[in-house]
Structures are given as C-alpha cells and as structure tokens.
Structure 1
C-alpha cells in the first residue's frame, strides 16, 4: 500500500515523447503522486495559469529541455518569474546544457540527464519536494536557516547578514541550488566570472575560505561548505 500524499503532491510532466511521459507518470503514480502530462511547450504556461490557484495545483514540474513550441529553458525562466515557489526539475539529453540549467539566470531545482531510470526520477522528485515543502510559508526563516535575498544580494544566517561580496554570493547560491552536488573549481569559476576571465584555481579557494569564515562568524560549529579532496566543493546543509 502506498503512503497517501498531500493535496499538493500533484506533478506536471512536460515531455514530448509519449513513451517517456507515460513511463515516468506510471512510476510517479505508483509512488502516490497524481500527474498531468503536456507534450507541447506552448501549452504549459496557459495550463499553469489556469490551475495554479486551484486545489490540486502542481507542486513540481518535470520539464524537458527540447520541446516543440516554447523550449524548456524559456519555460523555466517564465515559471521562476511567475510562480517562484513552484519546483522545477529539468530533463535533458544535452549534457552540455547542464551548466545553463542550474545557472544563476534560471535556478532549476535539479536536473536529470537522459537516458534515466524512472526510479531515479521518483527519488529526485521526492528529494526536491522535501526541500521545497520544508520552506516556511510565512517567509520567516527557522532557526539554523540560511536564506538568500536576490534583490539585495544578501545571504542571511539565522537572519544575520553575512556581508558577502557579489562573487561570494554567486558562489554560495550556485552550491545551494544543488545541495550535495560536488562542483569542481572550473565549474565554480565559470559561474563566478560570467565574462570568462582567466583566473587561477587558488582564486576559488580564496573565495571559499572567506565565505566559510563569514558563515563561521554566525555558526562556529557548522561546516556547510565542504571540501572534497581532489575534486572541489559542495554545500552540505545537514553538516
């Protein structure tokens, strides 16, 4: 017997390949979710506009990158602007697009590369929903929370402004968008310096060191930016 899901555990699948859409829907419905599938990019925003204010509105969108009509990147940007609380997982067969999917300008919650296991999709969906549904609806951060203010370029730890520079803020935001994901120094440099200037790997290490110091001023016992020897860094909120 499947555990009952909450009323908002409805998912929108945007995928133009019917077999993939049906397979993913079957696994998600088998895990207790309800699903609705759309195959054409131009139909997504009108459907969301009609359903987002009603009971049973989707809590998450599984969004394919390559779609007929409006493409996935454009849709992700529009969803972020109109419904910032709606979680988005991008589906892509183009590995070279991954950096853009999780870049600062789009902010997808996660991405899955094709071909994928339907069980992996279910696991990723559950993980993203746990994170998004755990966020306080009132806008007040719980004790131990690290929140980002994009308009003011501020990071707040328990409500305390960390006083980050623009580069430190970008660095933290990139890692926070994918908790547990390991970023190489090259990947972080690409995001920190959008003009593709040439900098050394030590520059990244220096920014991480300063970022850690500022976080430690508020949380001396927590290590949420972790080093992965020989690889890079990751954001680990459970630390």
Structure 2
C-alpha cells in the first residue's frame, strides 16, 4: 500500500528537502506551497493518508487549514510543523485535533518515525470495535463516542488514550507510564499535551457522573468507569 502524504509547506528549500527525503522512505508526497490549493482539493479527490502542515503559511495558516480539513475529514491524521517553541502553538494544534507536532528544522528520521507511529495508531483492531462505558459506547472503528444525547467524533490520539485508560479501570496510573507508552517521550510539552487530551475526555463524559478521571498531583490519574 502506497502511503500518500499531504505536505503543506510554503518554504521552497525546506519543502523540497522534506519531499525528497520522505520519497526515499517510500512515501508518496503531494506537496502544496499554497494552502488554498488544498482547500480546492477537499472538494474533489482527497485520498491522502496523513497531512503534514506548516503552521506559518501565507493566506491560510496551518491551524486554519487544519480546521477546514477536519471539518470535512474529521478522522484525518495531522502532524504540525512549527518553527517556534512557544507552547501556545503546540497546545493550540492539539486542541484543534492534531495528532502530533514537530519543530523545524526537524530531524528527517524523527519525522519519519512520528509519521509511522501515527499511521500505526490509525489502524484499528478488528477483534473488538465497540466498548460500553457507562451510558456511552466507544466505537473504535468509526472513532465515535456515542451517548443518547450526542455523538462525539474522536481523533486517533483521543481514541488511543481512551482505550489505554480502559485497561486501568478502578486503578491509579502514572503520568510517566501514559507518556512513555503512548507518546514514547516524556517532556514538558508532551506532558501539557496529555493534560489537554484528559480535559477533553472529561468534557466528553459530562453526561455520566459515574465516569471519573481524577488527577492525582505529582502521580498521575485515577480512572473509574462503571462496570457493565
């Protein structure tokens, strides 16, 4: 299977380097320097497996472009490229629904590894596709969290985190264990990313007061889902 990557990068030199390297890794790269062309592609043939979006682009920045894409393709995996180290950039991207980010100039090998990890997470297990969580149903195949009052479209990372937490029902789980197992790294920014995802999951479960994800300062989280 050819992995088709949507690359949005307005810098000619950096874009060419990324394109050539990723093609050597066996990916099929569709490079756009003008984000408006991607918006047009959404209306026709948009069959990419993952998007790599530079945040700082003319006319339409990476965040705005991601919102446009995810509105049409809610489960589309996105990795942001940013030349900044400001945490607001990274957290904003995660709140939009991105799966990961990497700072420029980036190590091509690290970028390739992150792409492969995201794609690996996007392959849903065929053995069990639905889990009952209190008054909710988690459909891992469709990336949906379903409640009688609403349906919530999950990102791949949200789905992965929720599945991981389900393994530790009625137990305490350390922050470091989650970060090392899911993010495969443990630093300030990934820690803040985890907090963003935990906050989102809490909001998703607002219709069932028996579902609790409690923070334990300096330790991690205590997970409590009703037994069914």
Q: Matched residues in 2 for 1:72 and 1:137: separation?
A: 33
Report the Cα offset of residue 215 of structure 1.
5.8
Q: After superposition, give the CA deviation of every residue in 1:105-158 in whole Å (9 maximum; x if it has no partner).
A: x110110111111122111111111111x125899349xx99562855798769
Gaps of 5+ in 2: 132-137, 170-174, 201-213
TM alignment of 1:217-232, pairs within 5 A: none
- Contact 1:24–1:121 (Cα < 8 Å) also in 2: no
- Match of 2:79, SS? strand
- Contact 1:98–1:111 (Cα < 8 Å) also in 2: yes
Greater strand fraction, Structure 1 or Structure 2: 2
TM alignment of 1:19-168, pairs within 5 A: 19-52=13-46, 57-96=47-86, 97-103=89-95, 106-132=96-122, 134-135=123-124, 140-141=129-130, 149=145, 151=150
- Contact 1:13–1:63 (Cα < 8 Å) also in 2: yes
Alignment of 1:187 with 2:192, yes or no, is: yes
Query: What TM-score results when the alignment is normalised by the length of structure 1?
Result: 0.61
User: Which has the higher relative contact order, 1 or 2, with Cα contacts under 8 A spaced 6 or more apart?
Assistant: 2
Q: Matched residues in 2 for 1:76 and 1:137: separation?
A: 28
Query: What TM-score results when the alignment is normalised by the length of structure 2?
Result: 0.63
Q: Matched residues in 1 for 2:194 and 2:116: separation?
A: 30
- Contact 2:42–2:72 (Cα < 8 Å) also in 1: no
- Contact 2:56–2:82 (Cα < 8 Å) also in 1: yes
Change (3 A) 1:188 1:29: closer
- Contact 1:13–1:37 (Cα < 8 Å) also in 2: yes
Q: Matched residues in 2 for 1:184 and 1:18: separation?
A: 32
- Match of 1:35, SS? strand
RMSD: 4.3
Q: Matched residues in 2 for 1:118 and 1:157: separation?
A: 30
Gaps of 5+ in 1: 1-5, 164-170, 195-202, 219-239
